[in-house]
Each structure stands twice: as structure tokens, then as C-alpha cells.
Structure 1
Amino acid sequence: MRRIAAVCAVALVGGMVVTPSAVAKPPAGACNSADPGMQTVSTMPWAQRTFDPRRAVWPHSTGRGVVVAVVGSGVDADHPQLRGAVLRGTDFHFEGSLPGNFDCDSQGTAVASLIAARPRAGVGFAGLAPGAEVLPVRVSDRSATAFGPGEQVTSRHVASGIRYAAEQGADVIAVTLASSHSIARVRDAVEYARKRDAVVVAAVGGADDEGAGASYPAGYPGVLGVAAVNYRGTLDQSRVSPHTDVVAPGADVLAAARERGHNYYSGSEFAAGFVAATAALVRAQHPTMKAGKVVQRILATADPSRGLGYGKGMVNPHRALTDKLVDDDPVPLAAMKPRTVDPAYEAAVSWWRRAGSIAMAVTGLLVLGAVLGLVLVPSVRRARRRRWLPSRAAPVSTERVVEAPPDEVFLFPKPPAEQ
């Protein structure tokens, strides 16, 4: 983990001399229309409340000493919460000698702020790894989520950006763009970065992107593919892809806007920012841990998956930093020994089972006989007394009986007139 020196440069873009600005503005002639600054939001966003970094994460690691490359639209180094956190980087979009520490669109600035924005008094938003540094790698001019054939961002620029980040010693590389097609030069660049021990994190793309769920470089071996979820924890603004390894907040998340202030963003590229920050936290806590082990730790400590498209589940920075994991391979269980059978014992058990069944049947018959005897014996005795003749009921009298009403009963004596 080494700091990458920042230097100034002068570049030629379209025949125009371009001088980098230091007051939150792109170099003259670099942007047709840069996004305006936004208002500052003081409340704490839902994603930061979910991770609770001040209590659950920063006591263990802030990402200090780790360099995270952001391959996207550039990063505005003059944003108040990113000053001192952004290195010079480079610009592959113009293919000159421009740095990458400016942004026309805010996409790259937003992703970088989710990683390394410094806390400020009175502002609830901050990056998940505020001790890390950001290496901006600019490969697009405006907001872009896809690269490759038919897209405004070429695979050559993306591959060059990944190689450049690895060569500069980036510990984590966050790729904010995705392609539905596997492209050889990008695959080779990812492999090059992995050989240089970089953790590669990639967005899986938006729900409207073409392709049947395929996503690259997320689909390449060793790359952490990230999809976006909303505050309910369900997929949002992100495709369902078999190349998703984990999910993270990426729908209506608050992040820095270029120049100043904050804005709300949605997309898997912003979810990738949280996962890249988690990788930076782990690498700062375990400086000697290899990139492959960092990836394994993030996957092993993710909260349980909700189903197809969620990979291992929601990334959990706290568990990634605090869970005690065993690096050794699982210990195999002892081979099961077959149970030996004693023929004599099995025969005895079988005999007793049969005897028990017979005894139960005999007992049932005896009980039934006793019940029948109690019912039938009195009936037989009465039949014998009648000499087995059927009994008859007493005849019913046909004489009409008229009952006279009772004499009158007086509670008091009759009056003299009636006596």
C-alpha cells in the first residue's frame, strides 16, 4: 500500500491547451456542460444508518493507508469532503496527459465519496472508509453504466484504466461500468490486476441494460460482482445476474455531487462503492492479507441471501472486520463404519416382536369375550325363564277415564251470604 504522488499537468484536447483547475471546475474545454453544485444535506442517509460506521466500523478500521481506484467519470478533488483524499489519477477519455481528479458528471465523485468522503461537523453523510485515498481513473465524459460495442465508453479505455490502476499500486479497484459481453482485453486487464494483488470490485449493471443477466468484469474469476438494493433490502435499479456475489445499498443513496453539496443516486455502481470501501477497511486492518483472502472474507461475512440475484447476501462491514474466520480447510469427517449384525440377536428380537403381537391379539380377544359375556348372560337367563318365548308388553286399556275436577279450595271461609 503506497501513496501515489499527485502532480499538475497541461494537456492538449482537440487542439486546445487545457489547464487543470484547482477550484472545483473541470479544465477549460474538457466538459461541454458540467453538472452544477448541489445543496448540502445535513441528515444522516439510510445507508449510513444501516452500517452505523461511527460505532460499528471505524473503531476497528477507517481504511487508512489504502488506495482505492475508481474507474468511471473522474472524481472532483475539490469537493469539501474529498479534499486531501483524491490523488491525481489520469484521464483515458481524452487520451492526453490530463489528470483524473475532475468530474463533469458527478457519477465518479459520488462513488468516491461513498468510499472515502471525510466526516464534517453538521453533515450526516460520510464515506465508509474515510481514511482511504482515491485514485481517479477517468474513462467517460458523462454518466455511463455500460461499455463495449455500441456504447459511448470503449472496452479499450476500461481495460487501460484497470491496468493503470494496478500499475499505480491500487489496493482496491472499483469498476463502475459493466458489459453484457466478455471482452478479451478487459478480461486480461482484470487478470493482470489480480496478479498484482488488487481486489477488483465491479457493478453488475442496471435493470435496463441489455443481456440475459451476464455482466463483465463481474463475471470474471476473483472479481466481486455487486448489485444494488433499496432500503427494504430488495433488488432495485440493478439486474438479476448470476455474476452477483454480494449486494449493497444502491437505490436512492445520498452521496457527494461534483463541486459541492450532495445528491441522491441509484445504480449498482454506487453499491460497488460500498463494497470497495469494505475491501479497503479489511486491507487496512490486515495489511498482509492477500486479495483473494479479502474477497473470501467479504463473501463469508455477508448477511444471508434473499434468493436469486442476491449472491451471498448484503455486505456487512462490521462482520468483515470482527468475525473470527478459520483459514484452514475444513476437517473431513471420519468414514462411517458399517454396523455389524448378530444373526442370533436379530432372530431373538424378531421372535419377541412376533410374540408381542400375538399376545396383544389374544388379550384383545379375551377383553372382547368378557364384554360380550357381561352383556349376553343376563339376556340368556331371562329368555330361559320365558322358555325362550318372546316377551309381550301389557295391553293398553281402551276404556275412557274421565277425571273429575277437584273440589274448590278456599284459603278463607265463604262469606255468610254464600254459606
Structure 2
Amino acid sequence: MVTSFASRLSRRRGSLVFLLRSLVGASLVLAPTGALPARPAGSHAAAPAARAARAAPPSRRSLERALNWGIGAIDADAAYAQGATGRGVTVALIDTGVSAAGTDLLAGLSDKSIDVVADRGEDGGARHGAQTASLLAARHDGRGSLGVAYDATILSVRVDTAGSCSKACRINGTNLARGIDYAVEQGARIIALPLEAPNRLSQIEPALVRAVEAGALLVTAAGNHGDPEPSWPARYAADPRFAGSIVIAGATTPSGRVARWASKATGAEHRYLVAPGQNLVTNCGRRSCAKVSGTSYAVSFVAGAAALLLERYPQLRGPELATLLLDSAVDLGAPGADPVSGTGMLNVARAMRLARTQLAAGASGGAADDRS
């Protein structure tokens, strides 16, 4: 059984615009998709270059900062002012792969990045992985756009089915489970899953359990169909087997409203928050950038926020990271967790303050590692 969806490409001011349409069938797809050269099977990204002393925080007036409206929307500048940039944190991105060339995050790609499909070769797969990676960790280098956790390391795990990305990328549960297990084996503390399916995926449940037991935080996409409830595997967030270690990312517009096309929080209100997901500029090359929308891209913001927290407080485990992100969200709509926006809008500054307060309160004998 196969799930797919259509995306529409158009040119607008030199950028590619991706518009999600619909989901059909019954397996797993990325949400949303586009077409891009992905890394060859079995190849690795270049090892991260040696990094110089930490640069000054990005100016709010700089072009790379201005290109990513989402950074201001989640109040990430407060974290940068405290020196949090994601340095030393590895985020596993389970997606369509990230090309080692032609991206503004090359220095942040792990040399452990892989393609779980053997002998695929360079097949012109989807741009989706490069787009989500760029929003998460594009370098602060004065060029292109800026990622939320711009000093984080991306462990790219490509899992899409070979040859499936001409119209829509497909993933089978076996490869997805292999990707999750690989991320855990490599010590990734944050696992981003910017994908969706209409049905339960029993093949990946043991891998999810192993990720939770390892202390990882999993960030999942709500889905792009405007349904009252999230898609799978996001719905696993409400399953007690996963110990509160899964967070669902819904999407907001630049005006701060929940996107009408984003699947909502019914049934998982306390495990769901929203983040920027519409009209985002990403994956800038020499002459153009992509302009994208989808809950996949909200995953990048939530995972990036978690990386900022984890750099400052490396003792945090998945459930603690999830609780900090969810409890510090800015309430939207009806008071408290609600079926539309869940716990509210991601806010990095509030999450950092909450972490500092809670860890200091429980730090009898120095359990907290507050580096501010």
C-alpha cells in the first residue's frame, strides 16, 4: 500500500514555491515534498570543518536573519544572546537526504550521515531534506538563510524509497525503522521526523521504543490536510508507551495564526505545539532560494529549539525537553491546551527561562548545569 501527495511547483521572483495538495492511499510520505538531488547511496557528507571561535549572534538587520521570519516568531534571539547556538548537539534528520554540496550547512553535516537504501546512486531525489535541514541548521556565515540552531550538527538519514520522488516521496516502514535505529546508534539526542502517514505504522513502534529508552526527543509533523487530529506517526505522541518523548509540530502563518491546512491537535492536545510553517525561505543557493510551506518545516523549528536547550542543559532527556517546550509555549486560542493549537506557539526564550528556573530549583548539590 502506498501513500502519495501532489505538490505544485511555480516560479515566483526566482524562488520555488511548493504548495501541498492531498494525500491518497495508505503508506508513508514526506509532508510536503519537492524534487532535489539527494546524496548517493552509501556516501557520506564531508566531515564538519574545524570551527573557529564562536561568532557574535546574527544581527536582526542582516539579510540571512531577515530571510527567516520564523526565528523572530519563536524568540530565538534570546537564546543566541546567551550563547546558545546548538553547538555540540547532533540532530538526526530522517528525510530524503542532504546533498554534501550546494547547501549553506555543509560544515554542519555529520560524516556519519547515510542512506539506508543500499546502492541507490545519485538519483535526483527530493529537495525536502535539504529544505528542512537548512531551516534547522543553516550556518551563520553571512550568506543564504539562517537556521534556528545554526551551529548544530545534522545527522542526515535518507529513508525514501528509491525512485519514488518524481511526484511524491514514499517511505516504507521497514526503512523508517532502520533510520530511527541508526539515529539512536549514532547517539542523536534529537530525532526529527518531518513526514506523515494516514495509518498506524506498527513496523516502527519497536524502534520508537528504543529511541525513547535511549533518552531521545522525537519531533513529528502534524500533517498538512487540515484534519482535526494529527497524522501518523505524530499520533504516537499520545501513546503512554513512548513516555512523553514525542512532540507534535503544527504550523503557523507569518501573522501568527494556525495554518488552516495544518492538521490539528484533537486527541493529543497536551503533546502538540505550533511553530512557523508557511512561506518560509530556505535552502538558498547561489542565485535562488526555495519558498516552502508545511508542517515538516515546523518540525525544523521545534527540533532546532530543542538543540538550543540541549546545548545549555546537556543533562536533559527526551521527556524533559518535551515538557519544557510544551509548557513554555505561548497560549493561542482557547485558554489552556486546545484541539486547534495544542499548548500554543513555540517560544525559545520562555523555554530557556523555564529550564533555568526548574533546573536551579532541583539542583541541590549542583545537578543543574546552567552556563548563563
* Displacement after TM superposition at 1:98 (Å): 6.8
Distance 1:258 1:121 in 2: 13
Distance 1:312 1:105 in 2: 32
Q: Which residue of structure 1 aligns with residue 199 of structure 2?
A: 181
SS of equivalent residue, structure 2 residue 296: helix
Asked if the contact 2:41–2:119 (Cα under 8 Å) also holds between the matched residues in 1, the reply is no
Distance 1:253 1:136 in 2: 21
Q: Which residue of structure 2 aligns with residue 76 of structure 1?
A: 99
The letter for the 2-side match of 1:314 is M
* Displacement after TM superposition at 1:157 (Å): 1.4
Matched, 1:301 2:321: no
Q: Which residue of structure 1 aligns with residue 88 of structure 2?
A: 65
Any unmatched runs of 5+ in structure 2?
A: 1-35, 43-62, 237-241, 363-372
Q: Which residue of structure 2 aligns with residue 321 of structure 1?
A: 352
| Aligned CA distance change for structure 1 residues 145 and 103 (closer, same or farther; 3 Å) | closer
| Aligned CA distance change for structure 1 residues 109 and 122 (closer, same or farther; 3 Å) | closer
Q: Which residue of structure 2 aligns with residue 133 of structure 1?
A: 153
Q: Determine which of 120, 131, 143 is the counterpart of 2:141.
A: 120
Q: Determine which of 247, 258, 277 is the counterpart of 1:235.
A: 258
Asked if the contact 2:98–2:130 (Cα under 8 Å) also holds between the matched residues in 1, the reply is yes
Superposed CA RMSD in Å reads: 3.1
SS of equivalent residue, structure 1 residue 293: helix
* Displacement after TM superposition at 1:288 (Å): 1.1
Distance 1:29 1:156 in 2: 17
Distance 2:37 2:201 in 1: 34
Q: Which residue of structure 1 aligns with residue 232 of structure 2?
A: 216
Distance 2:210 2:67 in 1: 39
Distance 2:105 2:215 in 1: 26
| Aligned CA distance change for structure 1 residues 80 and 177 (closer, same or farther; 3 Å) | closer
Q: Any residues of structure 2 matched to 1:261-300 within 5 Å, and which?
A: 261-300=288-327
Q: Determine which of 333, 336, 341 is the counterpart of 1:310.
A: 341
Cα deviation 1:27-66 (Å, max 9, x = unaligned): 6799xxxxxxxxxx8643321332454x422122111100
Q: Any residues of structure 2 matched to 1:19-418 within 5 Å, and which?
A: 26=38, 43-51=66-74, 53=76, 55-60=77-82, 61-88=84-111, 89-92=113-116, 94-96=117-119, 104-121=125-142, 123=144, 125-140=145-160, 152-207=170-225, 213-220=229-236, 221=242, 222-236=245-259, 237-242=261-266, 243=268, 245-257=272-284, 261-306=288-333, 307-323=338-354, 324-326=356-358
SS of equivalent residue, structure 2 residue 81: coil
Distance 1:90 1:320 in 2: 32
| Aligned CA distance change for structure 1 residues 314 and 214 (closer, same or farther; 3 Å) | closer
| Aligned CA distance change for structure 1 residues 258 and 225 (closer, same or farther; 3 Å) | farther
Asked if the contact 2:75–2:347 (Cα under 8 Å) also holds between the matched residues in 1, the reply is no
Asked if the contact 2:251–2:295 (Cα under 8 Å) also holds between the matched residues in 1, the reply is yes
| Aligned CA distance change for structure 1 residues 29 and 111 (closer, same or farther; 3 Å) | closer
Structure 1 length-normalised TM? 0.61
Asked if the contact 1:215–1:241 (Cα under 8 Å) also holds between the matched residues in 2, the reply is no
The letter for the 2-side match of 1:266 is S
More strand by share: 2
| Aligned CA distance change for structure 1 residues 250 and 135 (closer, same or farther; 3 Å) | same
Asked if the contact 1:103–1:258 (Cα under 8 Å) also holds between the matched residues in 2, the reply is no
SS of equivalent residue, structure 2 residue 142: coil
* Displacement after TM superposition at 1:106 (Å): 1.5
Asked if the contact 1:109–1:258 (Cα under 8 Å) also holds between the matched residues in 2, the reply is no
| Aligned CA distance change for structure 1 residues 203 and 103 (closer, same or farther; 3 Å) | farther
Asked if the contact 1:144–1:177 (Cα under 8 Å) also holds between the matched residues in 2, the reply is no
| Aligned CA distance change for structure 1 residues 187 and 266 (closer, same or farther; 3 Å) | same
Cα deviation 1:113-132 (Å, max 9, x = unaligned): 11111122265x20111111
* Displacement after TM superposition at 1:266 (Å): 0.6
Asked if the contact 2:220–2:247 (Cα under 8 Å) also holds between the matched residues in 1, the reply is yes
Distance 2:234 2:350 in 1: 23
How many residues are aligned here? Answer: 285
The letter for the 2-side match of 1:282 is L
The letter for the 2-side match of 1:326 is Q
Structure 2 length-normalised TM? 0.69
| Aligned CA distance change for structure 1 residues 163 and 260 (closer, same or farther; 3 Å) | farther
Bigger RCO of structures 1 and 2 (CA < 8 A, at least 6 apart): 2
